[in-house]
């Protein structure tokens, strides 16, 4: 009886330790902050390049179960564009008896960027050191521009897309891990105004695909594990995108980030 009890205890103990170690490596959630260097050209306002350099914030997480890798990331930043034009960059004479003229100046504008993505990938290649995953993702992007001198002049782009998604990891050793994630939109839905301003604001909506929306999002992360529960990470994010309806919008940006990760 004692031997049976001892054997049962050992089996439960060993199984419990193994299960804890496995679960410890499965799920991770991280929080980070950094700096974004971005530029955009929104032609519903005016075909002028704008540049934004500002603090950014991130939330990242992942869960690996068998050969499936679930991951998500959320990014946010808000800043004011660099003002470098003080004279009118666009003038239009209104066809009225008063002969009034509308002039547009490049004023300071607040730029807000929010994105969220959930991906599900399946391990298709590699080994324990260099595992590779391929799958898909659901992604939402919001670009919001607001003129500070006149808050009625706002512009936004909202995109919801289904993406091709791939991840390549390099598990250097027990403490160091490098990972590269690439996301590429294939089809989705978009909402955009035809021009800046709220008064009489016509909205353009419709399907987006490679003929009117192309983009690539890249994230390179390095993680250093201090303990089995806590790690630090640094990362580099790259983004290039172009929307062609109803008028072109082009965005390009680089994000540098530092953060910490909890494993459980």
Please state the domain extents for the chain.
27-263
Q: Which CATH architecture has domain 27-263?
A: Beta Barrel (2.40)
| CA–CA distance, 253 with 179 (Å, rounded to integer) | 20
Which DSSP state fits 149?
S
Query: In this structure, is the dihedral angle defined by the CA atoms of residues 128, 130, 136 and 137, taken in order, positive or negative?
Result: positive
What pLDDT tens digit does each residue of the chain (264 aa) get?
444 334 433 333 333 433 333 444 578 999 999 999 999 888 876 677 888 899 999 999 999 988 999 999 999 999 887 665 545 555 544 444 444 555 555 566 788 999 999 999 999 999 989 999 999 999 999 998 887 666 666 788 999 999 999 999 999 999 999 999 999 999 999 998 876 655 546 788 889 999 999 999 999 999 999 998 999 999 999 999 999 988 899 999 999 999 999 988
3-state secondary structure of 21: helix
């Amino acid at each position: 009886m004692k031997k049976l009890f001892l054997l049962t205890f050992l089996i439960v103990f060993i199984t419990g330790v193994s299960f804890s170690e496995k679960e410890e490596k499965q799920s991770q959630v991280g929080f980070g902050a950094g700096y974004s260097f971005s530029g955009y050209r929104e032609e519903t306002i005016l075909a002028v390049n704008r540049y934004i350099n500002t603090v950014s914030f991130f939330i990242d997480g992942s869960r690996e179960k068998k050969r499936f890798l679930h991951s998500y990331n959320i990014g946010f930043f808000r800043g004011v564009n660099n003002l470098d034009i003080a004279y009118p960059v666009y003038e239009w004479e209104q066809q009225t008896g008063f002969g009034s003229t509308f002039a547009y100046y490049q004023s300071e504008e607040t730029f807000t960027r929010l994105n969220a993505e959930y991906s599900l990938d399946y391990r298709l290649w590699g080994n324990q050191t260099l595992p590779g995953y391929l799958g898909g993702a659901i992604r939402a992007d919001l670009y919001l521009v607001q003129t500070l001198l006149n808050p009625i002049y706002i512009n936004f782009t909202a995109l919801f897309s289904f993406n091709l998604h791939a991840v390549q990891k390099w598990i250097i050793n027990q403490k160091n891990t490098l990972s590269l994630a690439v996301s590429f939109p294939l089809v989705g839905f978009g909402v955009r105004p035809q021009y800046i301003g709220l008064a009489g604001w016509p909205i353009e909506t419709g399907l987006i695909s490679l003929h009117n929306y192309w983009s690539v999002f890249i994230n390179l992360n390095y993680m250093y594990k201090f303990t089995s529960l806590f790690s630090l990470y640094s990362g580099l994010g790259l983004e290039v995108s172009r929307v062609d309806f109803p008028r072109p919008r082009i965005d390009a940006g680089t994000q540098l980030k530092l953060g910490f990760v909890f494993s459980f």
